[in-house]
Amino acid sequence: MYNTHFRERHLGHPAEHPEAYDRCSPILEAASLTRPLLLVHGLADDNVIAAHSLRLSAALLEAGRPHEVLPLSRANHLVMRENLLRHELDFLRRALNLPAASGTGR
């Protein structure tokens, strides 16, 4: 079940306060991004639905902004895995043009 109570407690119901949701939407900021973005989404997340990450990805693509999307099956909102941390570190090294760590073989 999709978890909305936290957001609605602070922003109100989206049908009654659409301007609050627009103000908080990262989609409206997509065109202003200057660095590559990595979107990691657990497909078992009941807090943020995958369609929201895909909408952001579409906005980034439309704006010509570099990004990658990494969907994780069976992962929820609290994704913490050693291999994911390695992937994130590799992404940051590529995005920031940093050399690979010595001894990693990458």
pLDDT value of residue 79 = 75
Residues 6 or more apart in contact with residue 99 via CB below 8 angstroms = 93
pLDDT value of residue 55 = 95
pTM of the full structure = 0.76
Using CA atoms, how far apart are residues 34 and 103, in angstroms rounded to an integer?
A: 31
Q: Do residues 50 and 41 make contact, with C-beta atoms less than 8 angstroms apart?
A: yes
- pLDDT tens digits for range 17-46: 889 888 888 899 999 999 999 999 999 888
Residue 56: name the closest of 74, 71, 44 by CA.
71
pLDDT value of residue 103 = 60
Flag residues of the chain having pLDDT under 50.
Answer: 1
pLDDT value of residue 104 = 54
Specify which residues 40 forms β-bridges with: 70
Residues 6 or more apart in contact with residue 58 via CB below 8 angstroms = none
